[in-house]
Amino acid sequence: MHRTILITGATSGIGRACAIKFAGDNDRLILTGRRADRLNELAESLQKEFGVEVLSLNFDVRDKEAVKRHLGGLQGKWASIDILINNAGLAAGFDSIQEGSTDDWDQMIDTNVKGLLYVSRMIAPLMIKQGRGHIINVGSIAGKMVYPKGGVYCATKFAVDAITQSMRVDLLADGIKVSQVCPGAVETEFSVVRYKGNKEKADGVYKGFQPLTAEDIAGSIYWIAGLPAHVNINDLVVMPVAQASPAYFNKKL
């Protein structure tokens, strides 16, 4: 039986790589993101290449009503979700607490914490009703250790860590698996978004060492999702060999 997988933030990076990886397994996909053109392009190419069924849902996870409208209206096979990958997220800015932009903070907290909660609030009851499901949250090494000028992003990922642990407790009696994957530096659009389109600054983040790829993380998520029913990975930290902690790199510049 093929699974139904809901991936938030599938228009880029880790979410997109997950969509491709699971499509290769013939899974049915629900893909979400704000950029409709990218969603549609991806859906079309996956349908063509793998013959999989894809439902594209174009909404902002910060918009509570939009989340309800799109995910509350799922019917039939599309409501029978086996795996939710809570991936949509971002860092906005790189600033100290004394100098940071409060708008950046709102965006990170609203997306990474509240957005993840809104989506989970809609999907967890469906999983409970069907008696099975697996929620995989994308946390970060930034949710394990803080680094200078990353305080609020780190706080959102520490929150994801806490929410993951809480979900596992709350959903224990219903047999719903809850996992977290915490990557170190992955070269995606993440840094371009963080530095608001400044490509030079963004590229500088990955200079002098070999970062992870989105496919590396998609592979980890795919592995976690395919383990036997009685086995769960609670938490998986995946790092580039050249990165020991958020701020400690072996860079050959």
Which chain residues interact with ligand 8X3 by CB under 6 A? 140-142, 150, 153, 185, 246
CB 232, CB 166: distance < 8 Å: no
Q: Taking Cα atoms as reference points, which of 106, 116, 15 lies closest to residue 61? A: 116
Kindly report the three-state secondary structure assignment for every residue of 110-144: HHHHHHHHHHHHHHHHHHHHHCCCEEEEECCHHHC
Among 89, 93, 240, 246, binds ligand NDP (CB under 6 A): 89
Q: How far is the CB of 130 from ligand 8X3 (least distance, A)?
A: 32
Q: Tokens 């599309």 identify what position? A: 78
User: Which segment (54-62, 68-76, 223-231, 245-253) binds ligand NDP by CB under 6 A?
Assistant: 54-62
> In the complex with ligand 8X3, which residue's Cβ is closer, 15 or 246?
246
What is the smallest separation between the CB atom of 210 and ligand NDP, expressed in angstroms? 13
Give the β-pairing of 54-58 and 83-86: unpaired
* Contact between residue 179 and residue 136 where contact means Cβ atoms under 8 Å apart: yes
Choice between 76 and 197, CB closer to ligand 8X3:
197
> Which region, judged by CB under 6 A, interacts with ligand NDP, from 56-64, 66-74, 162-170, 241-249?
56-64
Q: Which does 150 bind (CB under 5 to 8 A by kind): ligand NDP, ligand 8X3, none?
A: ligand 8X3
Separation of alpha carbons 184 and 150, rounded Å: 14
Binding status of residue 216 toward ligand NDP by CB under 6 A = no
Residues forming contacts to ligand NDP in the complex (CB under 6 A) are: 9-15, 33-35, 60-62, 87-90, 111, 115, 138, 140, 183, 185-186, 188-190, 193, 214
